[in-house]
Amino acid sequence: MTLAADAKTRHAARQLERTPGPAASSASGEPPARPSQTAIAGKRPATDKREAIMTAALELFVERGFFGTAVPEIADRAGVGAGTIYRYFESKEALVNAIYREQKLAFGHVVLADFPVTAVTREQFRLLWMRMAKFATLHRSSFVFLELHHHARYLDAESRAVEQRMTALFTHVVIGAQARGELKPGDPGVLMGLVMGAFVGVIRSCVDADRTIGEADWKLAEQCMWEAVRA
């Protein structure tokens, strides 16, 4: 079990990508015709509008929620016409799904890149926590966005799959560590919920108090949560 878990995690970051199964790529991501794509090099890619739209939408979804945000508002903030959004995304729903996947994968890559599969659990835990902290600090709204849309009904199957793959990876790490007697026994889901929830709770407490989270806060919290889950 332990070995399986480690093997599963070795190329963890890579495994988050879409499974190349049947009917996998048509879902709802891309518009009928993606603009320009023109030059192999040079020409600044026309995708900077796509990015502007995604950035604006992400911010607004965080501020007001999905249904609370009007598409023309997104267009305004992105500095494009309302119609332009539909050149890049099939619908508002496709847009939120594209953002979700992009951010979830970005999070996965930051957190899981070169994961030290052979290290002791104490070090793995510290690394995971601190990488999550780094991501959450650098991309605060992205992190809040992911939390907010964690299980929204407008997420499609592919977006849910990205989430599930990530959860599965963590679960294997936890089960392995439990088997080695380095983590408390008990339902792995509960332990992970505890840790992830606590992490979110720290961010939320600081957002609420309009305070920034310092390195010291993160270290304190990390120490606390390690003591929470260690065997």
Q: Contacts from 209-214 at CB under 8 Å and sequence distance 24+?
A: 213/133, 213/137
Give the one entry of DNA, a second copy, none that residue 116 binds, where binding means its C-beta sits below a cut-off of 5 to 8 angstroms depending on kind: none
Burial class (CB in 10 A: 0-12, 13-18, 19+), 162: buried
Size of the site for DNA (CB under 7 A): 27
- Taking the complex as a whole, the smallest distance from the CB of residue 154 to a second copy amounts, in Å, to 9
Q: Does residue 197 belong to the site contacting DNA (CB under 7 A)?
A: no
Q: Does residue 134 belong to the site contacting DNA (CB under 7 A)?
A: no
Crossing angle, helix 47-64 and helix 71-78, to 10 degrees? 130
Q: Does residue 34 belong to the site contacting DNA (CB under 7 A)?
A: yes
Q: Does residue 158 belong to the site contacting DNA (CB under 7 A)?
A: no
Q: Contacts from 109-113 at CB under 8 Å and sequence distance 24+?
A: 109/13, 109/16, 110/134, 110/135, 111/135, 112/9, 112/12, 112/13, 112/16, 112/169, 113/13
Other residues' Cβ atoms within 10 Å of the Cβ of residue 209: 8
Q: Does residue 64 belong to the site contacting a second copy (CB under 8 A)?
A: yes
Residue of 26, 42, 44, 227 that binds a second copy (CB under 8 A): 227
Q: Does residue 55 belong to the site contacting DNA (CB under 7 A)?
A: no
Between 135 and 154, how does the x/- string for binding to a second copy read (CB under 8 A)? ---------------xxxx-
Interaction site with DNA (CB under 7 A): 33-38, 43, 46, 49, 67, 69-72, 79-88, 91-93
Interaction site with a second copy (CB under 8 A): 63-68, 150-153, 167, 184, 186-187, 189-209, 211, 213, 217, 220-221, 224-225, 227-229
